[in-house]
Amino acid sequence: MSVTSNKVFSLRSFYAAAAHNNDLQLSITGLNSQGLTLYNKTVTLQVFTATEIMLNWIHINTITFVASGGMNNIVCAIVNSTCFAMDNWSIEQ
């Protein structure tokens, strides 16, 4: 998933949680308007636990999210997915 803006922005932080798989790896990349990678970070997410992701990334135009791996949470029994949720974005332009 990607979010792109015509204007430069700064992403300070956000909260994220895995939807079905514990130990879900979320790779986050911040790019400039030329598509060059300025920042890269990978975090591990859990089901039922929101994690604050602190970035303080400045002067980006695009941010991408790629989720992978993890182990199915027993409560989520038959669902095995790399879905995740995000909330409380702190963005400045």
User: What pLDDT, in 10s, does the model give residues 12-36?
Assistant: 999 999 988 999 999 999 999 999 9
Cα 63 vs. chain centroid, distance in angstroms?
Answer: 9
Question: Who's near 19: CB < 8 A, 6+ residues apart?
Answer: 47, 76, 81, 83, 84, 85
Full-model pTM? 0.89
d(CA 65, CA 3): 9
How far lies 79's CA from each of 16, 21, 45, 61, in Å?
19, 8, 16, 34
pLDDT of 88 reads: 96
**Confidence (pLDDT) at 77:** 61
Per-10-residue mean pLDDT for the chain, 93 residues long? Answer: 94 95 96 96 95 97 95 73 93 90
